[in-house]
């Protein structure tokens, strides 16, 4: 089976061109997302991905919750290095807890912040609460937030976030993120997000019209 990056070809090339060695602060000059439609062969494979459900169980207030069923009032959920998931009442709580739940990621964040310089000079689109790959419920980077430190494929239905993302950020050491909308009996669009950058999906054109608001089903990072 061909890899996603081999199958997409052009999208992979774009991601490589947009990737940088050390993430900087995301500003209004972030690279524009690249959008397109999958080939028929890759479309058939991607359409099956959202059907492969694997429950995402998170720690929240001392109990286990299944994110696909309910967030139980949580507002920010983080997958740390190694795959464990923790949820919190706010993005601030998630940031404050990171040194204890993922010390390696916290140290890397501190290093990246030093490289980025003074964040107060960044534009209004800089989102300090996202340090790797994030999706937000609202287009202004607010509402419920998912943040991943663990790479891989993410079926957003398992995270209780399918068709619910209105904005997102990418701040990785290298590489961008591919976002898919898996549709039945129709061509499946993709969106390639460059690194670093923060993106309002309501302003990203969808291949068949409209925007990418509330369209994301599945991502690869």
Please report which confidence band the pLDDT of residue 9 belongs to, taking 50, 70 and 90 as the band edges.
Answer: very low
Residue among 217, 188, 186 nearest 201 (CA):
217
The pLDDT of residue 91: 92
Global pTM value: 0.81
Residue among 213, 215, 124 nearest 167 (CA):
213
For residue 146, pLDDT over 50 is answered with yes
Bridge pairing between strands 76-79 and 34-37: unpaired
User: What tokens were used for 34?
Assistant: 């690249």
Total structural domains in the chain?
Answer: 1
The pLDDT of residue 48: 63
Question: For residues 203 and 211, is the Cβ–Cβ distance under 8 A?
Answer: yes
Containing domain of residue 188, as a range? 4-220
Q: What is the pLDDT of residues 84-104, one digit of tens each?
A: 999 999 999 999 999 999 999
The pLDDT mean for the chain works out to 81
Torsion angle defined by CA atoms of residues 199, 202, 204 and 209, in that order, rounded to the nearest 10 degrees: 160
């Amino acid at each position: 089976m061909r890899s996603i990056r081999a199958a997409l070809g052009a999208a992979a090339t774009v991601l490589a061109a947009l990737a940088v060695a050390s993430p900087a602060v995301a500003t209004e000059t972030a690279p524009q997302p690249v959008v397109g439609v999958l080939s028929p062969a890759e479309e058939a494979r991607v359409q099956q991905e959202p059907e492969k459900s694997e429950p995402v169980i998170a720690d929240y207030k001392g109990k286990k919750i299944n994110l696909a069923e309910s967030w139980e009032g949580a507002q920010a959920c983080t997958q740390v290095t190694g795959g464990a998931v923790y949820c919190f009442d706010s993005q601030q709580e998630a940031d404050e807890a990171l040194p204890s739940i993922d010390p390696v990621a916290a140290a890397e964040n501190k290093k990246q912040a030093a490289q980025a310089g003074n964040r107060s000079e960044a534009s209004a689109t800089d989102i300090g609460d996202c340090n790797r790959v994030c999706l937000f419920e609202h287009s202004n980077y607010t509402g419920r937030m998912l943040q991943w430190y663990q790479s891989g494929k993410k079926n957003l239905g398992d995270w209780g976030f399918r068709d619910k993302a209105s904005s997102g950020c990418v701040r990785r050491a290298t590489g961008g993120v591919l976002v898919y909308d898996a549709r039945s009996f129709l061509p499946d669009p993709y969106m390639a997000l460059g690194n670093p950058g923060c993106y309002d999906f309501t302003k990203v054109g969808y291949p068949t019209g409209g925007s990418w608001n509330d369209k994301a089903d599945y991502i690869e990072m």
